[in-house]
Amino acid sequence: MKTSEIKELTTKEIVERIQTEQENLVRLRLNHAVSPLDNPNKLTESKRNIARLKTVLRDRELNEKLN
């Protein structure tokens, strides 16, 4: 998910996506602990998506406080 796509989402949608991505990351980690994933880069990709979502959410919070 690109940053430009994230910025188009509403704040509520971003919060929902963060929760979904975190649940997905937990599932990926558990599956990887049991048996190796076909593509372990999915773990990194999921963590980066969570970070992007949180960054945009925090940016919006700061902009609201300034206005």
34 is a domain residue:
yes
Contact 28, 14 (CB under 8 A): no
Number of domains in the chain: 1
Q: Which residue has the tokens 């980066």?
A: 48
Q: CA-to-CA distance for 17 and 63, rounded, in angstroms?
A: 21
Calculate what percentage of the chain has a pLDDT beyond 70. 100
Q: CA-to-CA distance for 48 and 40, rounded, in angstroms?
A: 14
39 is a domain residue:
yes
Tokens (6 digits) for 41: 């880069």
44 is a domain residue:
yes
CATH at 52: 1.10.287
Q: CA-to-CA distance for 55 and 40, rounded, in angstroms?
A: 24
| Regions of the chain where pLDDT drops below 70 | none
Contact 43, 32 (CB under 8 A): yes
The pLDDT value given to residue 40: 92
45 is a domain residue:
yes
